[in-house]
Structure 1
Amino acid sequence: MRSMWGLFTKKCTQCRDIATLVNNACVLKDCGISHCAECTTEGTPTCTKCEDGYYLNPAPSGQQDICISCAHIPGCMECDTNGTCLICAPNASPSPTGGPQCVFCESITLGCATCVGETGTCTDCKQGMLLYNGQCLSCQSHCLKCLPDGRCLGCETGYYVSETQTCVKCMDNCAVCSSPTSCGSCAPGYFLSTANDTSTCLRCIENCAECKQVSSTSFECTECESGYYLDANVCTKCLPHCELCEAEFQCSACAQGFYLTLDTTSSPITMVCRECDSNCEICSLEKTSGQSVCEKAADGYYLTESKTVEKCIENCLSCDSGTQCNLAIDGYYYNSAKASVTQCPGGCHLCIEKKDAPGTPTCYECAPGYQMSSLNGTHTCASPNSSSGAKAGLITGIIITIIVLILVAIAVVFLIRLRKKMDREDALLHEQTTTLIPDDQEMDYQESEGP
């Protein structure tokens, strides 16, 4: 048996299959698969293990396996290299029925921000809501924290808690106050003036983000808004698409979608911002070529090995190649059985393909007005009003039927009474006619009526 290490020289003499021996050292083989830690390079490169924070996603036959970030597992914060979620995010709960490994708290309890356990017991609600008896109840308008009886304990910026524990608006442009006439601090772009023993928020100079009062009647700007620089208490605009500069021709950072480069044709020579190539979100200047190089593609596009930008398949938000999809747009999921992006089932806002059933979607977040239900490990979304709507329709039908039957009964009774009335009138008429005829005529009449 050959030893992997020299006995005395401490030099490597043999490497594992995943590495190549170079100058008595093992160098991992490069299989050209992003975020792959170990792979085989015999024939078609095949990844066998991904880097930490990524998991191996088996691709359909004929396609290359890829390493996908754990962040692409809905609601998952940490996973192993096999794609099994180890820890769900605070706003999600482990699924007890299979399907998606983590189910968002919001889908279990409306308005829930954090939850625990397989049942998804809500532990905290979103801002402006109160956790009460396992449900999230809305506080009053502009209230961030409240009591079960509706009284407010804390308000949004620009409001204060009144004596009646409701949220009342501060004076105009005031961020923090304790009464409608007293301001503690102003909103960005305004400064607090205390002239004449009254506090008011006055506008700083145009495009100033922060300023301070130097006397009861004057102030000075301390920081300008993004894209402007301070010059003699005036905020002056930087060069086009420049986000940070210290002077007109001293740009140090560009806006997203632009890169910083030297313009040698201008006088004086300045640093300017040039636009990245189409569908590139972040790019930089390559010093050797003097050209821009894309570092991050825009949503729906991916970077090739040669740093060119190509489009993902339709309805795909993030991908590493043109034949697969890491993350689909809302309402769609990647169908590995068809190698395409398919629409989620009705009522489902976010869904994912079941790990053990390629081509079968399972929902992990329902659309507004729908609630999640599970059957055989598959999550679906149904309208909570669907059953009540059906019951309401049934009740309405029963009521209409009863009304029709009552009307028919009334009609029958009316006809019977009408018939009896007509019979009585006929009998009365006959009696009156008989009374008016004399006896001898009656005999003749009876004889004429006889056989």
Structure 2
Amino acid sequence: MCVYITMLILLSALISFQTAGCTHSYQVNDCVEGRCEEINGHELCMECKNNGYIPINGYCQKYDSSRYSSCKNADGTGITTQRQCGMCTGSMHLYKGGCYSCGSIYPGSLICRECAEGVCTNCTRGFFENPAASQTADSCIRCDDTTGVAGFVGVAGCLRCYSPNSTHSNVARCHTCKLPTHMPNTMGDTCYKCQLSDCFRCKPRMHARFVALSSI
């Protein structure tokens, strides 16, 4: 029973964020293969197949300057044959080639709580605010995104994190690792495995490196 529960815990941690091929019917036809990202079960397109179609809230839409004026090229010009947004303005923010709404509007609510003038100012859990955020650079970066944006990166295997805390670091500070068998180090820039045998969940304690909460 413990082994089964352990597998469920590990699986749930791993599927929170995934970059993979497009599988949902509404993305397979419209999105470039391999250019989807899954966040909490919702598949978002990062680049559309057809010229003049751009990702708006994760779905490919035919560009219409009256409906999707927030999406522009990075130089501020209007979309013509492009398949991604290079800039987002107004009440939307840029995330991996698409423009997303903020606050309670789904699926933008999976990424950002608040934004102003094309920049998200309050990312949801699982992301950290990019110190170099702008209308042309993603405001929110996944805690586990080791590719990053504008030189700022997440931590491999990290689930919850904070933005880098100084100008001397470009790495997020991990608070919680995806796997319950792993913990962030003191700096928060690495998730490493507990050193106790047969342990599948652990936490730090004052006079020992780890204390096992459960074991198989």
What's the TM-score once normalised by structure 1's chain length?
0.17
Q: Which has the higher contact order (CA 8 A, sep 6+)?
A: 2
Q: Give the number of the structure whose residues are more often helix, by fraction.
A: 1
User: Which protein shows a greater Rg?
Assistant: 1
